[in-house]
A and B are shown apart, each in its own frame.
Chain A
Amino acid sequence: MTPQKPDTTEIAIVGAGPAGVAAAVIAARAGAAVTLLDENTNAGGQYYKQPTLAESGHKYPNSLASNIQQGRELLAGLNHPGIDLQCDTLVWNVSPEELVLYLCGPTGARALQAKRIIFSAGAYERVMPFPGWTLPGVIMAGGAQLLLKAQGLLPGRRFLLAGTGPLLQLAAVQLLEAGADIAAIVELQPRAEFLRTASKLWGHWDKLGQGIANQKKLLQAKVPIKYGHTIARALGENEVSGAVIMKVDGDGIPTPGSETTLEVDSICLNYGFIPATELPGIAGCTQYFDYNFGAFATKTNENLETSVAGIFAAGETCGIGGADVALLEGQLAGAVAARQLGLDPETDEAKLCQKQLQARTVAASLGKMFPVKPGLCALATDAVPVCRCEEISAGEVRAAIRMGVVQLNQLKPWTRVGMGRCQGRICGEILRQIVAHETGLALQEIQPFTARAPVKPVLLEEVGGAVADTGELTWEDHVGGYGVART
């Protein structure tokens, strides 16, 4: 291992989704040298994921085709000499003081020093556990969408979509158009509540219009939408062969005796999204609790600057908002970052700010429409695994909570939850719900797992390889004292 000087760039953007791409395009057009990093093979993120299939006449459902087309137009902007797009590149650590990102990718491990960093890492889908949720055949609705979009694959034949939120209906339409059979859509929110809160979108015709169009298509296809229901169990020995759904009350507690069994071979879940805040977390950016979506997110000011100098956050990372918000925030962050470097992005940031705030307001109302209800934790009976990597059951977690272990960081060593390969990305939010349900603590009182490097597991040789040149520093005589023998 020879220490090497970090590569340098002016603006480093982590995540090439709508926000990252928009930021890169604006900043590069203003004249900044931009490095756009993404761990996926292609830019576009999840929302604008582009088909990997050859273009040879594969016919996409209408609802997907327009999305793919929009994405293609956006991504065309990346064809700019100022943008260095590096895909298949994982950013696994960040040094906030020097604004250095640690990468590993096709060309090995490197360090990248930037003058400004924009985190636009997107979000993860939220899942709630129930008996059978780890069976093959249970996937996330967004995952099903991606298989369809990127690979043209249908993950099953007969589907149940369960959870809460607008994605369920959209995904159902897309699956339907691709030729799938939809057994039912199970929406957690009761119909009356859904209609009442939907009125808050009055005036936001595009969102409302999309929703109504989706409903219309589902109605035409005679897809039953079960409001006020939840999936209670996935049936099957080695893979999903059916699902049991149940009515829930206002708190999300399943009503005994209301079980209905459906015959399906694929269950798609979605309970909303959780911001990906690992890198801002490692950098020490202040986090806040987003009450609209019930999750911690990165705090920014109106210019999308985080609490750490030189670091911006845009899109889902600073609170769930959807692609529209992400595009606006990407532009804003890119423009502000470029201007701070003495360039002129030729945009009106004040106007962007205003538009972004409006879009955030709409997103917030959508978020409030589909809260995750803590009563759902009752579905995760003691034998149900909640940490898949370490195979820790809900019962073990509850036993720990009874011993007074009420913070995620305390649960971790006590039960080994979150210690596995996913590093708590999947179980973290499940645990927060369970602790809140068991102890009566508010969700925001339960702190997330401490964010630590590596963001995702990396080879030791990649860690050892990405050494920033810090002058005389070697492992033998570290300035801080590493290498001093003590007894």
Chain B
Amino acid sequence: MADYQADVIIVGGGIVGCATAYHLTRAGADVLLVERDGIGSGASGRAGGGVRQSARVSEEIPLAKASVALFPGLSDELGIDIEYIQAGNLRLAESADYRRPMQVDVARQQSHGLDVSWLEVADVVEIVPALRWQNIVGASFCAEDGHCNPFRLVTGFFNKAAQGGARVLLNCEVQNIVQTDSGQALVETPSHTARAPVVILAAGFGSQALCYQIGYDLPLANVRYESMITEPLPPLFQQMFGVASSDLFFRQTSNGGVHFGGGILEETGQEDIRTTSDNLQMAVAHISQLVTDLERAKLLRTWGGLDPSTPDGMPIIDYLNESVLLASGFCGHGLATGPIVGHHLAQWVLEGTRPAALAAFNRDRFDGWLQTKWTPSGSFAAVLATEDTQIAGSGAPGEGIPFMTPPPYEDSDETSGPRKLAINPQMCTGCRMCEVACAIKHEQAATQVQLRIQVVYPSDDFFLPIVCIHCEEMHCLKACTHEAMEINEQGVVSVIRENCTSCMECIFVCPTGGITHSPAKAAVVKCDLCDGDPACVRYCPSQAITFRHIDRPAYEKLATLMTDYLPARETR
């Protein structure tokens, strides 16, 4: 017989667990909350405090919007001042390199109905005079974003849940969750057992070990966050800040301390809340360049944070079996989305059907994802790890992004002949997504980029992917004396690796740089158009590369461009 019997057992006393407990108890459910350490002692309580909708992956924007709408009322609802300040979020660009990619990203977010805009530096310092304008080019600004005291938010939900009758086991680590014959799950801790028809697993990184026992390999990597805070200072700014070049964030808390920090992408296989001298000094050096006179403030404390991250930067919220409902891997976005996720989870448990708002976070999306070395949380390689995941706008390639001007190739009347890669350098933001997409497609790794396609950066605002343009002259085919080149019925020339002797003749004769040598393969490589579905086209966020019929003048213009900018390509 179990020590505890409940309607729902929640494993994990972070923002998701506490918010869910609150909503469930409010609906009259009998809840048992089990937490390994203390309330908010994991990622939630250590968080940066940002409550933002902007700069999120597209699927998460609706959730973030709904959550932000809850925040202004939370202090009253929870009976605790969560120190919520809705003064906007500024994502600072420190060099011109970031201007275009960020403007594209602003357009993407606008297409999802977010009130985000691009501000030039003059407008940025007008909003925040305390910034060092010399080091800033501009910023994206979302006025509805803000920040709060993470710990008070979590404890607010916890207190309300406890007042509402939720039972709580703190300092009590769940060791196993087993499915019993009666259709209930049995939760085992060193000192207690508990039984319930539904177990919500919201233990952050700790969920991984429990999932593994259940038989689900939860794809989580632990990203280490480090936070620092200064002594209380006079009011400097109310906004939440991020930067485009790194993970640095900063805000001024309600007691005056400037809280700042950043993430370290380390695929540590375990929870890691260390703080290191290197990261401390880098973050301090970085923020000192952005905030005027901050170097004269005293650093008071530092602490380590947690950021359990999935390959695509979005949480996994799904049933693992009949009774275990997983909600983990919030990738550092849990604090902002937690309040609404708690609402939806409670609804899911009580009504038995998956709320539409959580549909994007199913676990099936990782089925069969390439087991390549992935970097966590929304990085390009990660997005590409699964063929089914779409970036930016979640539609088929070709859906319009308002910011974009129509590609000039639209003028082409040509509708016959083979389709080719049409590249529009005016659309290219230099994000190099194509390089990563190509590498994953052909090399199954994000490490050997720049082989078949490479973006050159001749100037600050001109980018051009250099790739085989599948010319009609086929210099390479003619130059090959080792029968290492073949042509298929679509007219695409490809390399027969076994025959290639790395004589490089084809590389020398190609005027547009379409062929490169891969030392790893000991052969030359070139674009093969991915059997009619080029990965670079599929994953280009700005539609700078399209796969279409192009006419002769456009094709010649492209060939000239490639030849002109070929010298800017890095030599390997």
By a beta-carbon cutoff of 8 Å, the part of chain A in contact with chain B is: 1, 93, 95, 100, 102, 403-407, 409-410, 413-414, 419-421, 423, 450, 452-454, 457-461, 463-464, 466-468, 470, 473-476, 478, 480-487
Q: A459-B296, A475-B285 are in contact. List 15 more A-B contacts (CB 8 A).
A: A102-B277, A405-B170, A407-B38, A414-B151, A421-B231, A450-B303, A460-B296, A461-B295, A467-B285, A480-B265, A482-B264, A482-B265, A484-B375, A485-B246, A485-B247
**8 A Cβ contacts from B250-269 to A:** 262-266
The verdict on A484 contacting B246 (CB below 8 Å), with A407-B37, A460-B295 known, is yes
Which of these, B37, B245, B278, B377, contacts A473 with CB under 8 Å?
A: B278
Give the chain B neighbours of A403 by CB distance below 8 A: 39, 159, 162
Q: For the side of the interface on B, what is the size category?
A: 35 or more
Give the chain B neighbours of A487 by CB distance below 8 A: 55-57, 105, 313, 378
A-B pairs with beta carbons under 8 Å apart, 18 shown: A93-B280, A406-B38, A410-B38, A414-B151, A423-B301, A453-B280, A453-B302, A460-B294, A460-B295, A463-B281, A466-B281, A480-B264, A482-B264, A483-B245, A483-B247, A485-B244, A486-B377, A487-B313
CB distance from A449 to the nearest CB of B (A): 10
CB pair A460 B279 closer than 8 Å: no
CB pair A482 B263 closer than 8 Å: yes
CB distance from B471 to the nearest CB of A (A): 36
Give the chain B neighbours of A464 by CB distance below 8 A: 281, 284-285, 288, 295
CB distance from A409 to the nearest CB of B (A): 7
CB pair A413 B40 closer than 8 Å: yes
CB distance from B331 to the nearest CB of A (A): 9
The verdict on A482 contacting B279 (CB below 8 Å), with A407-B171, A453-B302, A461-B295 known, is yes
Give the chain B neighbours of A460 by CB distance below 8 A: 230, 284, 287-288, 294-299
Q: Which residue of B lies closest to A109 (CB)?
A: B281
Which of these, B171, B284, B287, contacts A406 with CB under 8 Å?
A: B171
Q: Which residue of B lies closest to A100 (CB)?
A: B277
B522 contacts the other chain (CB 8 A): no
CB pair A478 B299 closer than 8 Å: no
CB distance from B158 to the nearest CB of A (A): 8
CB distance from A97 to the nearest CB of B (A): 10
The list of the 5 closest CB pairs from A to B, nearest first, reads A481-B265, A410-B38, A461-B295, A475-B282, A413-B151
CB pair B379 A484 closer than 8 Å: yes
The verdict on A486 contacting B281 (CB below 8 Å), with A410-B38, A413-B45 known, is no
CB distance from B161 to the nearest CB of A (A): 12
Which of these, A419, A458, A478, A484, contacts B298 with CB under 8 Å?
A: A458
CB distance from A426 to the nearest CB of B (A): 15
Q: How far apart sit A484 and B41, CA to CA, in the bound complex (Å)? A: 27
Q: How far apart sit A484 and B245, CA to CA, in the bound complex (Å)? A: 7
Give the chain A neighbours of B159 by CB distance below 8 A: 403
Give the chain B neighbours of A102 by CB distance below 8 A: 277
CB pair B284 A476 closer than 8 Å: no
Give the chain A neighbours of B40 by CB distance below 8 A: 413
Give the chain A neighbours of B192 by CB distance below 8 A: none
Which of these, A405, A410, A459, A486, contacts B299 with CB under 8 Å?
A: A459
Which of these, B56, B168, B280, contacts A463 with CB under 8 Å?
A: B280
Q: How far apart sit A452 and B296, CA to CA, in the bound complex (Å)? A: 21
Q: How far apart sit A89 and B148, CA to CA, in the bound complex (Å)? A: 37
Q: How far apart sit A101 and B32, CA to CA, in the bound complex (Å)? A: 47
Give the chain B neighbours of A482 by CB distance below 8 A: 246-247, 262-265, 279, 282-283
B497 contacts the other chain (CB 8 A): no
CB distance from B387 to the nearest CB of A (A): 20
Give the chain A neighbours of B230 by CB distance below 8 A: 460
Which of these, A404, A410, A452, A459, contacts B168 with CB under 8 Å?
A: A404
Q: Which residue of B lies closest to A479 (CB)?
A: B278
Q: Which residue of A lies closest to B54 (CB)?
A: A487
Q: How far apart sit A450 and B37, CA to CA, in the bound complex (Å)? A: 14
The verdict on A484 contacting B247 (CB below 8 Å), with A100-B277, A407-B37, A464-B281 known, is yes
Q: Which residue of B lies closest to A458 (CB)?
A: B299
Give the chain B neighbours of A410 by CB distance below 8 A: 37-39, 41
Which of these, A420, A457, A459, A470, contacts B278 with CB under 8 Å?
A: A470
CB pair A453 B275 closer than 8 Å: yes
Give the chain B neighbours of A466 by CB distance below 8 A: 281
CB pair B277 A95 closer than 8 Å: yes
CB distance from A47 to the nearest CB of B (A): 29
Q: Which residue of B lies closest to A451 (CB)?
A: B275
CB pair B171 A452 closer than 8 Å: no
Q: How far apart sit A450 and B274, CA to CA, in the bound complex (Å)? A: 10
Give the chain A neighbours of B55 by CB distance below 8 A: 487
CB distance from B166 to the nearest CB of A (A): 12
CB pair B299 A463 closer than 8 Å: yes
CB pair B295 A459 closer than 8 Å: yes
Give the chain A neighbours of B303 by CB distance below 8 A: 450, 452
Q: C-beta contact mask, B114-141 vs A, less than 8 Å → 1, else 0?
A: 0000000000000000000000000000
CB distance from A14 to the nearest CB of B (A): 16
CB distance from A418 to the nearest CB of B (A): 9
Q: How far apart sit A409 and B46, CA to CA, in the bound complex (Å)? A: 11
Residue among A421, A423, A468, A484 facing the most chain B CB atoms (10 A cut-off): A484
Q: How far apart sit A352 and B404, CA to CA, in the bound complex (Å)? A: 79
Give the chain A neighbours of B37 by CB distance below 8 A: 407, 410
CB pair A481 B171 closer than 8 Å: no
Give the chain B neighbours of A406 by CB distance below 8 A: 38, 170-171
Q: How far apart sit A142 and B105, CA to CA, in the bound complex (Å)? A: 62
CB distance from A171 to the nearest CB of B (A): 32
B482 contacts the other chain (CB 8 A): no
B373 contacts the other chain (CB 8 A): no
Q: How far apart sit A174 and B429, CA to CA, in the bound complex (Å)? A: 76
Residue among B38, B280, B287, B303 facing the most chain A CB atoms (10 A cut-off): B38
Which of these, B41, B266, B275, B285, contacts A409 with CB under 8 Å?
A: B41
CB distance from A2 to the nearest CB of B (A): 10
CB distance from A304 to the nearest CB of B (A): 25
Residue among B279, B297, B300 facing the most chain A CB atoms (10 A cut-off): B300
CB distance from A100 to the nearest CB of B (A): 7
Give the chain A neighbours of B56 by CB distance below 8 A: 487
Residue among B277, B286, B298, B313 facing the most chain A CB atoms (10 A cut-off): B277
Residue among B231, B299, B378 facing the most chain A CB atoms (10 A cut-off): B299
Residue among A1, A404, A467 facing the most chain B CB atoms (10 A cut-off): A404
CB pair B247 A453 closer than 8 Å: no
Q: Which residue of B lies closest to A424 (CB)?
A: B301
**8 A Cβ contacts from B510-555 to A:** none
B454 contacts the other chain (CB 8 A): no
Give the chain A neighbours of B265 by CB distance below 8 A: 480-482, 484, 486
Give the chain B neighbours of A454 by CB distance below 8 A: 299-300, 302
